Amino acid sequence: MSSTADHPTRIILVRHGETDWNRAGRIQGSTDIPLNDTGRAQARDAAERLVAEVTDAATVAVVSSDLSRARETATLIADRLALPLGPSDIGLRERGYGIAEGLDVTEFRARFGDTHSGEVPGAETVDEVADRANDALRRLIAASDSPDVLIAVAHGALIRAVLRAAASGVAPTDDARVGNGEWRELALTADGRLVAASTQH
């Protein structure tokens, strides 16, 4: 089923479960850190809650970032929903933080002060992340035959960047922060726009 004005494709952006670097407060970015046991439990809990979210949808696809923490979370969700696991896309990777990856908050401030992370050598800007993520979501919807619901497992900073772009550049509030195993929603309209939904879990 393709997106129409009355029935846009519903996009559920799920943040992966916890990793050891999440627990330690380290900046992960594009570094490939696996889930820990807590993260796997969070992924299974998200999967249980998603059952009710998609029960009325005719077609559902589960896709993800190519990083292992997102891919494993997506695998657990797809298994619970009895769905095949769809493709991964590098465009849904977490925001790259350049030479700051691996640092905790204290180490970051000691090295860079209050410098915005986008000014750190090698780091991506929020707009760059949003652009590649939005392109990836459109690719994945097309690759999945335009399902009624696309469950896309990604990363916290990327989800915030996408929400900011969907709100026409308005920075998300603290309420938009996404915990491990939580999600936010978007819709792809018939004219190809990604618009934010108010629903958050």
Segment 9-36, tens digit of pLDDT: 999 999 999 999 999 999 999 999 999 9
Is the predicted pLDDT of residue 189 greater than 90, yes or no?
A: no
- Short-list 92, 95, 154, 100, CA closest to 127: 95
Q: Is 183 annotated as a binding residue?
A: no
Q: How confident is the model at residue 45 (pLDDT cuts 50, 70, 90)?
A: very high
Which of 72, 94, 124, 185 is labelled catalytic?
A: 94
Q: Is 20 annotated as a binding residue?
A: yes
Query: How far apart, in Å, are the Cα atoms of 191 and each of 4, 99, 161, 194?
Result: 8, 39, 21, 9
Number of Cα atoms under 13 Å in the Cβ half of residue 137: 32
Q: How confident is the model at residue 190 (pLDDT cuts 50, 70, 90)?
A: confident
Q: Could you give the domains of the chain?
A: 9-26+33-92+125-200 (3.40.50.1240)
Q: How confident is the model at residue 1 (pLDDT cuts 50, 70, 90)?
A: very low
Q: Is 22 annotated as a binding residue?
A: yes
201 is a catalytic site residue: no
Q: How confident is the model at residue 167 (pLDDT cuts 50, 70, 90)?
A: confident
16 is a catalytic site residue: yes
State the average pLDDT over residues 167-173.
59
- Hey, which bits of 59-112 come out as E strands? 60-65, 85-89
pLDDT score recorded for residue 118:
65
